[in-house]
Structure 1
Amino acid sequence: MCAIFGIIGTYEEEKAIEAFDTLAHRGIDAKYTSVNAHCFLGVHRLAITDVTKTLTPIYNHDGLQILFNGEIYNYEVLAVELQLHKASEIDVLYAAYRVWGDDFVKHLRGMFAIAIIEEAQVKLFRDPFGKKPIYYTLDEQRFIFASEMKAIHSLVPFTFDRQIVTQYLSFQTPLPPHTFHRYIHQVDAGEMVTFSVDERRVKRKRYYTPFSEGQTISEQKKAEEQLENVLLESVAMRLPKEVKFACLLSGGVDSSLICAMASLIQKVHTFSIGYEGYEKYDERPYAKTVSEHIKSNHHEVLFSKTDFLQTIEEVIGSLDEPLADPAMLPLYHLMKAVHKEGFKVVLTGDGSDELFMGYRTYKEFYALEQAKELGFKGWLQNYFKSHFSMHKEWEWYKRIFEGSTLFRSTAEIFTDLQQNRLLRMNVKDNRSLAALESYKEEFEQSGRVSPMEWYSFVDLKVMLGNVFLRKLDRMSMAHSIEARSPFLDKEVVATAFSCTPDLRMMKPSKALVKNVARKYLPNEIVDRKKKGFNYPYMEWLQESGELEVIHRIQEKMNLFNESELEMYLEKGKQGMFKQHLFSLYMLCKWLEKVNRSS
């Protein structure tokens, strides 16, 4: 079940149906509505579980209505605990809510967006890591919620929030509860949002944190054993029993390990993508090595410049907001190929790098943290202020000397000072840090103090929850495919955060995962140097003249300081500031689409 939609209050049925149908790509197998004078509810279903049954995914019983999007992997276990016989996922959700109240979500292992309507209240729940999206808006006549913003956009006039440009340039995407639409909000990962009809108020409450009060694992062997066990269980839980599934295989250790563990249960299909003529970006040889090792049915997909340019137009149509991750374009193309082959579910390796400290930048930042202990930093602080550099390292040292939070997620692209120089608005120092305030507060309340744990935690929230999982959901659901990420199971995450920081930062990088992987993969795959996902996106944008959209939007909206904008465009021709330019390109490409349609 992959799209939910609701209006509580005044509505026109014809317009409500049109809004609901904008979500049809998320669930192509059936659609259901429940309508009365003051409530329009709808669900589009993608049949993964109980495929042959005609289910009613809008549960309506005893004055309670439930809409559900996602998968609950432990619903059969919960059914036994709740003494239910032949129960569906939504039967289990109803019973769990009746027994445990709002805490029922704490018992779920899966990915979900759930709406519960009861006694003049609407409650929205989003899964702990943000795999399934849910948005809402409130005005004087109605409360609207939907799995994607496009359904709300069709009912509410678009109001561009210019201030959110700074969040986007900082983190590649707006952070919850904000969106680019001033009056549309997103539920955060692990959050419950409650709307009271009588009070006309919205309340937000966090129900999940990865910081458990349980065991601390300090022994390497124990950590590896526990990680292996929970990961095997997580993979097994995510293999569908009734529909075809595939595994995305890059040839890196994470996706390879997931594929290998899945292949222990049954023969798997694997998909990888490559770039003909751009061998330095191409990881297909590694994927093929893994495929041969696990004896999978392997599929290779090519992504050309022509595919790239066509995909941009299709992706812009699929996105409700700009997203500054260039990896979404080949991912969209790959998902299209997976769909053509008849698969409804894919497994991915997302989450391992953030949980087990796989990025080189973590070590760089940790080394820089030591500079905080320097005495007599005044001269250095003044020197840095008077010798500005566009390089990100300048900003890092500035934060160190000022005693500010150094690491603000791997997602960070533009620093505050870079934005202040580029945008025609005053962007103060530490504006990006202010956007992370709720995450900083949660981390501090946990009692954790290690910088390494902060890196992992904030990336779980920002890089994963708001960039990678948003990308994965939109690119897969655009082709009616459900993407599942075994590393992002509650028990796997709990294991990671139970390990002491020194275990998670052992050499070589991501040692715990690699030591588990040695049982399942060739050493040449486990030990090969990590290669960040990349392809010649900037070369293709420049060759095709696509970057001209930046000038067109600048002429119309005057967002940027001309001299600074031209500096980025010129440096881009020299191969510099690729991510900066891509984020500007996607912003302007999206704004042009919005301006055309409004």
Structure 2
Amino acid sequence: MCRIIGHLGARLSADSLRAAAGLQRAGGPDAQYLAARDGWALGANRLAVMAPQGGRQPYSLGTGIHVVYNGEIYNHRDLRRRLAGFGHRVDDDCDGAVLPALYAHYGDGFAEHLDGMFAIAVIDLRNTPRLVLATDGAGMKPLYYHWDPAAGSLLFASELPALLALPGVPRVPRLSGLDDYLTTKTPFGDETMYEEVRALPAATDLVFEPGRGMRLHRRGPARAEPFPGGPAGPPATLEAAGAHVRNLLRAETGRLAEADAPVCAVVSGGLDSSLVTALLAERIPSLHSFTICYRGTWPFDERAFAAEAARHAGTVHHEVEADPAEFVTLLPDVVARLGQPNADPITVSSYALFRAIREAGFTVALTGDGADEVFLGYRRMQQALTGGADWQDAYVDSLAAVPGALREELYSSEYRDWLRAAGSSEDRLRRRLADRLAAVPGDAAPGSAALAALTALELDERLPAYHLRRVDHLSMAHSVEVRLPFCQPGVQRTATALPQPWKLTARDDKRALREAARGLVPDSVLQRPKQPFTLPITAMLRDGLPLMEYARDLLSPEDVRRDGQLDAAAVQRLLRRQEERPDDTTALAVWALMIHRTWRAQLAAPALTGARAA
């Protein structure tokens, strides 16, 4: 696991590259590498998880091919054997050492042969210098880039603060960024909050050659049977499907348990993380598990469910008790680490949890992220299945940090006018959803078509942007590598191929996954209603509590007016509404504005942002 940085075509000193790479050193504290030549550079900060004695980057093949990468290649042993048959000898035991030979043999399509989570950069100097970037199929390992056609350069980094610290990368916020953020809680797809910075989408290859420009290629799904070793089609019963899913997850979890560093599990008390913990405990004796809870008495306390799941699995369980009074000091650090706003309150809790995991001596953590997307566990998915013709309205509203009517109230008149002319984020989201719907076969039932369209959008855009980048940045902020069984290609292929009624009906969600977990997790966990694993901000944003006092200071009329996008009087009314009649919608709106205001303040103070991120 590493953090990577580099460029092709720019004129950057080694000192400026080292300074920028230092901003993402927490994600790779064990070694720092930089190869900087005339017109190109590749750098890596290493977190030693596999083969700690090897792994020196860039990995090279002769003088022509140089590679840095972030992630884990799970099929590297199979690739070594295959490459040996082609005459390539790979001496370094580290998984990434196979990449130069793999690229040399397969060219730009080399990533199609990888099984793992990765963000890869290849400099090929054999003819015309060229840069190739590649991301894994789920988007587990983020990569950000800035392309300057006029200068003929492309710069990239694993984290936004590092990329923005490179000379020549503009720190200009997008005018539509606030509307994007409040509509979907963070920008989706390849967008970021910055005008000239993009995120490389999942399953995407980027090829850049100065003088010839840049091109993107989206790889298709890997070719493999969704039910290997079984019948030609899906299992014949729900019970058989559950057994197949259980066996598949057992194999994937066992594979992800392999590491030359200590491995633990994150358990929230929900179905997904409890199942991963139970399966991991089968592989690792005296497995340690971790959950987050909050000092004091708060609603939605899941520690009892997490503890029961841990007892059932036989783990050594740790309750990380975060102090809500500390959140006002953690919040700026969290925003700086993410590099842009994410409105999910769980960001602060996750930051505190991964800090505790690292302090306890663990480098690798397995989590249950991604299960709701692949096995259909969100309430909005049931609503789309049964909601009739207006399901799109409910779906779009469900993704928002601030509902549409309230956004209109909070925006300044100038910003509202600009959005009417430029087009709103909600309009663009509806068009993308309509495009997904148009791609569904015409013979699909209306509910199934709606479900297929939104699931495609969730997997392609929301999961990488909203969930996986957040998990990656906040875990690597404390030198912890997160591994994600539900995001593995085999699991996603199987879940996609399962008949929809075995995943979701009007009454039950994640049916095949619940069947797979039967007997492995306590009945209390298996049967409990879904509850978001989050921070109880409605209760914490109350008069007299530290978080509310912080909100008032942060959202003062003077600060709110500074950007010209929000109506200061409307924001004050929102704060009073939360003080007098607290509710979840108002609390999340206040929280989202706090996060955005924190980010804008850091954007105006780059030295402070860099210090916090270092």
User: Scaled by the length of structure 1, what TM-score is found?
Assistant: 0.88
Structure 1 unaligned residues grouped into runs of 5+: 373-396
**AA partner of residue 123 (structure 2):** I
Residue 32 of structure 1 contacts residue 58 of structure 1 at CA under 8 Å; is this kept in 2? no
Residue 57 of structure 1 contacts residue 90 of structure 1 at CA under 8 Å; is this kept in 2? no
Cα shift at 1:100:
2.9
Residue 189 of structure 2 contacts residue 462 of structure 2 at CA under 8 Å; is this kept in 1? no
SS in 1 for 2:44: strand
Aligned counterparts, 1:148-227, within 5 A: 148-154=159-165, 155=167, 156-199=169-212, 201-209=213-221, 217=234, 219=236, 220-227=238-245
CA distance in 1, matches of 2:70, 2:312: 36
Equivalent position of 2:416 in the other structure = 425
CA distance in 2, matches of 1:101, 1:222: 41
Equivalent position of 1:550 in the other structure = 555
Cα distance per residue 1:305-337 (max 9 Å; x no partner): 222222213213322111111001011101111
CA distance in 2, matches of 1:481, 1:559: 37
CA distance in 2, matches of 1:469, 1:131: 6
Change (3 A) 1:435 1:480: same
**AA partner of residue 284 (structure 2):** Q
Cα distance per residue 1:512-571 (max 9 Å; x no partner): 111110131222221122222233334434533111312343121221134543443233
SS in 2 for 1:358: coil
Pick from 400, 411, 418 the counterpart of residue 399 of structure 2. 411
Cα shift at 1:415:
4.5
**AA partner of residue 44 (structure 2):** V
Residue 137 of structure 1 contacts residue 143 of structure 1 at CA under 8 Å; is this kept in 2? yes
SS in 2 for 1:247: strand
Change (3 A) 1:53 1:121: closer
Cα shift at 1:246:
0.8
SS in 2 for 1:325: coil
CA distance in 1, matches of 2:155, 2:424: 33
Cα distance per residue 1:340-376 (max 9 Å; x no partner): 11110000001111211212232223322x2x2xxxx
Cα distance per residue 1:265-290 (max 9 Å; x no partner): 12211001112322532111111112
The question of 1:262 aligning with 2:262 is answered no
CA distance in 2, matches of 1:210, 1:439: 24
Change (3 A) 1:218 1:408: farther
CA distance in 2, matches of 1:211, 1:353: 23
Cα shift at 1:478:
0.4
SS in 1 for 2:249: helix
CA distance in 1, matches of 2:271, 2:15: 50
Equivalent position of 1:114 in the other structure = 120
The question of 1:251 aligning with 2:269 is answered yes
Change (3 A) 1:314 1:81: same
Pick from 573, 589, 594 the counterpart of residue 580 of structure 1. 589
Residue 218 of structure 1 contacts residue 500 of structure 1 at CA under 8 Å; is this kept in 2? no
Pick from 345, 357, 367 the counterpart of residue 386 of structure 2. 367
Equivalent position of 1:467 in the other structure = 466
Aligned length: 566
Cα distance per residue 1:117-156 (max 9 Å; x no partner): 2232211111111111111112344321111121221123
**AA partner of residue 484 (structure 1):** R
Cα shift at 1:14:
2.0
The question of 1:594 aligning with 2:603 is answered yes
Residue 380 of structure 2 contacts residue 395 of structure 2 at CA under 8 Å; is this kept in 1? no
Change (3 A) 1:361 1:405: closer
Residue 411 of structure 1 contacts residue 462 of structure 1 at CA under 8 Å; is this kept in 2? no
**AA partner of residue 334 (structure 2):** V
SS in 2 for 1:520: coil
Residue 289 of structure 2 contacts residue 317 of structure 2 at CA under 8 Å; is this kept in 1? yes
The question of 1:146 aligning with 2:153 is answered no
Change (3 A) 1:99 1:596: closer
Cα distance per residue 1:162-219 (max 9 Å; x no partner): 21221111111112322222111110111122222122x2222211348989776373
**AA partner of residue 536 (structure 2):** P
CA distance in 1, matches of 2:259, 2:7: 34
Cα shift at 1:226:
2.4
Equivalent position of 1:68 in the other structure = 69
Residue 120 of structure 1 contacts residue 198 of structure 1 at CA under 8 Å; is this kept in 2? no
Cα shift at 1:264:
0.8
Cα shift at 1:435:
4.4
Change (3 A) 1:104 1:447: farther
Change (3 A) 1:56 1:123: closer
Cα shift at 1:58:
3.5
Cα shift at 1:304:
1.6
**AA partner of residue 103 (structure 1):** G
Residue 298 of structure 2 contacts residue 536 of structure 2 at CA under 8 Å; is this kept in 1? no
Equivalent position of 1:526 in the other structure = 526
Residue 440 of structure 2 contacts residue 453 of structure 2 at CA under 8 Å; is this kept in 1? no
How much is the aligned-residue C-alpha RMSD, in angstroms? 2.5
Residue 171 of structure 1 contacts residue 462 of structure 1 at CA under 8 Å; is this kept in 2? no
Residue 236 of structure 1 contacts residue 265 of structure 1 at CA under 8 Å; is this kept in 2? yes
CA distance in 2, matches of 1:447, 1:585: 43
Residue 226 of structure 1 contacts residue 495 of structure 1 at CA under 8 Å; is this kept in 2? no
CA distance in 2, matches of 1:306, 1:563: 28
Cα shift at 1:38:
1.4
Change (3 A) 1:440 1:144: farther
CA distance in 2, matches of 1:436, 1:464: 18
Structure 2 unaligned residues grouped into runs of 5+: 227-231, 608-614
Aligned counterparts, 1:335-354, within 5 A: 335-354=354-373
SS in 1 for 2:292: strand
CA distance in 2, matches of 1:511, 1:161: 41
Identify the range of structure 1 (249-258 vs 442-451) with the bigger mean alpha-carbon deviation.
442-451
User: Scaled by the length of structure 2, what TM-score is found?
Assistant: 0.86
Aligned counterparts, 1:305-320, within 5 A: 305-320=324-339
Cα shift at 1:436:
6.8
Change (3 A) 1:148 1:414: same
Cα shift at 1:293:
1.6
SS in 2 for 1:122: strand
Pick from 107, 117, 128 the counterpart of residue 101 of structure 1. 107
**AA partner of residue 192 (structure 2):** T
Residue 69 of structure 1 contacts residue 113 of structure 1 at CA under 8 Å; is this kept in 2? yes
Pick from 140, 146, 153 the counterpart of residue 131 of structure 1. 140
Change (3 A) 1:60 1:571: farther
Change (3 A) 1:222 1:59: farther
Cα shift at 1:446:
6.1
CA distance in 1, matches of 2:430, 2:39: 37
Change (3 A) 1:117 1:437: farther
The question of 1:323 aligning with 2:342 is answered yes
Pick from 288, 300, 303 the counterpart of residue 307 of structure 2. 288
CA distance in 2, matches of 1:227, 1:541: 41
Cα shift at 1:3:
0.7
Change (3 A) 1:541 1:11: same
Identify the range of structure 1 (274-283 vs 477-486) with the bigger mean alpha-carbon deviation.
274-283
Cα distance per residue 1:439-460 (max 9 Å; x no partner): 7646644648521222322222
Cα shift at 1:20:
1.9
Equivalent position of 2:610 in the other structure = none
SS in 2 for 1:349: coil
Cα shift at 1:581:
2.0
CA distance in 2, matches of 1:493, 1:529: 24
**AA partner of residue 432 (structure 1):** E
Residue 191 of structure 1 contacts residue 208 of structure 1 at CA under 8 Å; is this kept in 2? no
